[in-house]
Amino acid sequence: MAEGINEVSDATFESEVIKSDIPVLVDFWAPWCGPCKAIGPVLEEVSKGYAGKIKFLKCNVDNNPRTPSSFGIRAIPTLILFKAGQRVDQIVGMADKAKIQDILNKSL
């Protein structure tokens, strides 16, 4: 697991994401997904610039089927940005650093 990006599960999603005081970017992924592995280092790099302002979490869709299905996730990687418990933006598929930073900056 990446150092600055923690796992979130079906059991912890509400407390970690919905009730968070700051915006949260959730990376829905799976270990067998090539693009998911490719976006990991990009997210790790981006997360360093938002320490204390935005929380970064990963949700393994194989181990936590309830949460992805509740948000209608059909493809991975999917990044969803939550603010005040609400979905405010999302990116489906591979994204570069600039695209990720763009949605994050809009939430601040």
Provide the annotated active-site residues.
Answer: 33, 36
| CA dihedral for 34, 37, 41, 42, sign (positive or negative) | positive
Letter for the amino acid at 14? E
**Nearest of 62, 76, 57 to residue 14 by alpha carbon:** 57
Nearest to 77 by CA among 100, 55, 102, 98: 100
3-state secondary structure 84-98: CCEEEEEEECCCCHH
